[in-house]
Chains A and B, each alone.
Chain A
Amino acid sequence: MVYYILKRLLLIPILLLILSALIFSLVMFLNPYERLSVFIPNPEAAIAGIPFEELITRYGLDKPFYVQYYNWLKELFHGNLGWSASARMSVFKAISRYFPATVELMLLSALITFAGGIFLGTYAATHHNRLADQAARVATSIGVSLPEFVFGLAMLVIFYAWLGWFPPGRLSYWANEIVYLSEFKRYTGMNVIDSVLNGRIDICADALRHLILPALSYSIGLLSVVLRLMRSSLLETLGKDYVTTARAKGLLEKVVIHKHARRNALLPVITVAGSIVARMLGGAVVVEVVFNYPGMGRFIVVSAQGLDFPAILGAALLIGTLIIIVNLIIDFLYTVLNPTVTLR
């Protein structure tokens, strides 16, 4: 067991090295001139006087792949992720600003996904073949197929354009001004938590008002996945002998379901939880663009459209690391919950 964890932990840096090399090699598909274009803010005005060749040599853009990769890696170990031309700040600063916003969105989405999915899945399974169950079957089929951006846009049309309840963005204008004052202390970078710590409930409410629609659009598909899984897993568990035994003992149906059946039925949900969290980490892209939410996903799209590769490399490396760690935790958790599985 210890040996297995050690092996996996040792593999992480190697995986990351290959991962970053792969992303870096993607960049190499572009010729030096295209990669140089990031550094030139206004090509029409400046085209005459730019010493292209000189700049390419200075930034080392014509060197072979391994030299450029080595240079990037060397900078990385000095804590320098490079300059993001599209965000007009260093990549490190951009990530430390956008990442908490995404984490905030993700935590709320995960809460909706798992709490909602497990609760509704239990309800559907215990009301098997009745109206609620049939409705769940149809609703999850639609939920799984609904593209995030279609659902998100529909939400925007209804709750912003029509009713005017939930605006896009991250904070209202008035709240934004307060958040950037020096009296407002930033502990985590997440508005909801920071505002509570600063004793500003009104800002917390405003942040939640901006969060609710993106989180809902983001979690609707994943909630359907969890609901389905929970439903079918619980139905299978309810047919097991020990559930019959528990019922025969005369236990309350509530106790049978919550104490005996649901705990075992959760196992497949936990197995899938890892891939869901991993998908969440990499998937906020579309929702953030739809709701104009300044998080990692929108940062990546904007920087990708501007061929801003230091930014993409930094962001992808961070997300890749998180996915690898999440997968490790899930594997570990799985053995704790299910002692019949042994890790090698």
Chain B
Amino acid sequence: MGFFLRLVRDPLGAAGFVLVLFWVIIALLAPVISPPQNQRNPYAIARTGFSSIPQPPSEKAVFGRTSGGYDILYGIVWGSRTAFRVGLIVVSCTSLIGIILGGLGAFIGGWIDETVMRVTDLFMSFPFLIAVIVMSIVLGKGLDKVILALIIFGWRHYARIMRSEVLSVRERDFVSAAKSLGASKLRIFFRHVLPNSVFPVFVLATIDIGTMVRIAAALSFLGVGAEPGYADWGQMINFSRQWLLGIVGDPFCYWYTYTYPAIAILTFVLGWSLLGDVLRDIFDPRMQKARRGSS
């Protein structure tokens, strides 16, 4: 509880918490806010007609409709579920891979550590976005392919951070104490080293939930992500691209096609990144001192 209070006492932390909470509520209440047209496939954005010209907000469609008759509000509401799915799945998988590879490598040392680090270096020299684009094109269309591609190339930072943490924790006194008490290697690793070195990974993971959603949205924007008509924020912005310039004399006449999805992405990513920043301050008192300034 004290931890939570410290989180929300910081105005930026509180803002982050509110933003994330807002999207959690939206995602949970999605069927209530926008009842799906097709019960079996709620992620297909509800559409009325196939008119290629966007329709401004009205009573029937509160946020208006984008080209193809897709309801913008529906896409935003169900897109929040997509965002949570992408963020949570990718980050839990990548951080787990990073913790295991980096942590065990550093703990065991020797050639295993060397191999893990060289493989990490190799993945580091891949341009991340290009690698993910190529991978998801090779795997085919669909959000699950994007998730897989993000996992394959996303674990490298976690392995690095975990390794450097374990290397310093391994030398601490309580580890030597456990060793002299005759604890097994596995027990030392899981009971003593791991819990004391996992916090930086935790902080990075919080920020990464937003980052991964941002990258997945960029992929959808480039047309290599979700299938057309799937509730996904990046794709909705891609839809709006041809309406961006408006018409002569009224450059903002299709403002609703891009404004709402852009706000959705921004607030989601911002929420997680604010939360992560404040978590870092709380877990790392040295950083806190630097931030608040000791002079």
A22, A142, A238: which contacts B270 (Cβ < 8 A)? A142
Decide: A323 near B137, CB < 8 A? Known: A141-B270, A141-B274, A235-B295: no
Verify B222–A289 contact, CB threshold 8 A. Answer: yes
Complex-state Cα separation, A320 to B127, whole angstroms: 7
Verify A320–B126 contact, CB threshold 8 A. Answer: yes
Quick check: which of A65-73, A176-184, A187-195, A279-287 contacts chain B, the rest being far away?
Answer: A279-287
Query: Does B237 sit within 8 A of A, measured CB to CB?
Result: yes
Residue of A nearest to B248 (CB): A161
Verify A239–B295 contact, CB threshold 8 A. Answer: yes
Verify A286–B252 contact, CB threshold 8 A. Answer: no
Return chain A residues, CB-CB under 8 Å to B138.
26-27, 29-30
Decide: A235 near B290, CB < 8 A? Known: A15-B125, A146-B266, A161-B244: yes
Complex-state Cα separation, A285 to B134, whole angstroms: 12
Residue of B nearest to A125 (CB): B293
Quick check: which of B61-69, B77-85, B210-218 contacts chain A, the rest being far away?
Answer: B210-218
Complex-state Cα separation, A19 to B134, whole angstroms: 14
Verify A141–B129 contact, CB threshold 8 A. Answer: no
Verify B130–A300 contact, CB threshold 8 A. Answer: yes
Return chain B residues, CB-CB under 8 Å to A232.
287, 290-291
Query: Does B241 sit within 8 A of A, measured CB to CB?
Result: yes
Return chain B residues, CB-CB under 8 Å to A148.
218
Query: Does B180 sit within 8 A of A, measured CB to CB?
Result: no
Return chain A residues, CB-CB under 8 Å to B287.
232
Q: Taking the nearest CB of chain B, how far is it from the CB of A182, in angstroms?
A: 35
Complex-state Cα separation, A318 to B222, whole angstroms: 22
Return chain B residues, CB-CB under 8 Å to A160.
245
Chain B 253-265 near chain A by CB (<8 Å), digits 1 or 0: 0000010001001
B121, B234, B251, B294: which contacts A161 (Cβ < 8 A)? B251
Residue of B nearest to A323 (CB): B125
Verify B262–A153 contact, CB threshold 8 A. Answer: yes
Verify B133–A285 contact, CB threshold 8 A. Answer: yes
B133, B134, B222, B290: which contacts A233 (Cβ < 8 A)? B290
Chain A 314-337 near chain B by CB (<8 Å), digits 1 or 0: 011001100110010000000000
Residue of B nearest to A150 (CB): B262
Q: Taking the nearest CB of chain A, how far is it from the CB of B244, in angstroms?
A: 6
Q: Taking the nearest CB of chain B, how far is it from the CB of A323, in angstroms?
A: 5
Return chain A residues, CB-CB under 8 Å to B245.
156-157, 160-161
Complex-state Cα separation, A26 to B252, whole angstroms: 43
Quick check: which of A47-55, A112-120, A204-212, A301-309 contacts chain B, the rest being far away?
Answer: A301-309
Verify B210–A327 contact, CB threshold 8 A. Answer: no
Complex-state Cα separation, A232 to B280, whole angstroms: 13
Residues from 129 to 184 in B contacting A, C-beta threshold 8 Å: 129-131, 133-135, 137-139
Verify A138–B12 contact, CB threshold 8 A. Answer: yes
Complex-state Cα separation, A23 to B127, whole angstroms: 11
Complex-state Cα separation, A150 to B270, whole angstroms: 13
Complex-state Cα separation, A137 to B245, whole angstroms: 32
Verify A147–B265 contact, CB threshold 8 A. Answer: yes
Complex-state Cα separation, A282 to B270, whole angstroms: 23
Verify A161–B246 contact, CB threshold 8 A. Answer: yes
Q: Taking the nearest CB of chain B, how far is it from the CB of A252, in angstroms?
A: 17
Complex-state Cα separation, A145 to B20, whole angstroms: 13
Residue of A nearest to B214 (CB): A147
Chain A 223-260 near chain B by CB (<8 Å), digits 1 or 0: 00000000011011011000100000000000000000
Q: Taking the nearest CB of chain A, how far is it from the CB of B245, in angstroms?
A: 4
Return chain B residues, CB-CB under 8 Å to A156.
244-245
Q: Taking the nearest CB of chain B, how far is it from the CB of A321, in angstroms?
A: 9
Verify A319–B130 contact, CB threshold 8 A. Answer: yes
Complex-state Cα separation, A315 to B126, whole angstroms: 12
Query: Does B277 sit within 8 A of A, measured CB to CB?
Result: yes
Q: Taking the nearest CB of chain A, how far is it from the CB of B129, in angstroms?
A: 5
Verify B222–A285 contact, CB threshold 8 A. Answer: yes
Decide: A285 near B130, CB < 8 A? Known: A15-B125, A19-B122: yes
Return chain A residues, CB-CB under 8 Å to B129.
282-283, 285-286
Residue of B nearest to A134 (CB): B11
Verify A145–B137 contact, CB threshold 8 A. Answer: no
Complex-state Cα separation, A230 to B126, whole angstroms: 27
Verify A157–B252 contact, CB threshold 8 A. Answer: yes
Return chain A residues, CB-CB under 8 Å to B127.
278, 281-283, 316, 319-320, 323
Query: Does A128 sit within 8 A of B, measured CB to CB?
Result: yes
Residues from 85 to 122 in B contacting A, C-beta threshold 8 Å: 121-122
Complex-state Cα separation, A69 to B197, whole angstroms: 41
Complex-state Cα separation, A142 to B133, whole angstroms: 25
Query: Does A18 sit within 8 A of B, measured CB to CB?
Result: yes
Complex-state Cα separation, A146 to B262, whole angstroms: 9
Return chain B residues, CB-CB under 8 Å to A150.
237, 262, 265-266
Query: Does B223 sit within 8 A of A, measured CB to CB?
Result: yes
Residue of A nearest to B133 (CB): A304
Query: Does A154 sit within 8 A of B, measured CB to CB?
Result: yes
Complex-state Cα separation, A150 to B265, whole angstroms: 9
Return chain B residues, CB-CB under 8 Å to A162.
251-252
Q: A149-B221, A235-B291, A238-B293 are known contacts; what are 8 more A-B pairs with Cβ within 8 Å?
A: A30-B138, A129-B293, A153-B241, A232-B287, A232-B290, A235-B294, A286-B129, A323-B127
> What 10 A-B pairs have minimum CB-CB distances, sorted nearest first?
A282-B127, A161-B251, A239-B294, A145-B269, A145-B270, A236-B290, A161-B245, A162-B251, A235-B293, A232-B290
Instruction: Please report B residues at the A interface, Cβ cutoff 8 Å.
Output: 12, 121-122, 124-131, 133-135, 137-139, 210, 214, 217-218, 221-224, 234, 237, 241, 244-246, 251-252, 258, 262, 265-266, 269-270, 273-274, 277, 287, 289-291, 293-295
Q: Can you sample 7 A-B contacts with CB below 8 Å? A: A26-B138, A128-B293, A128-B295, A149-B221, A283-B128, A312-B130, A320-B126
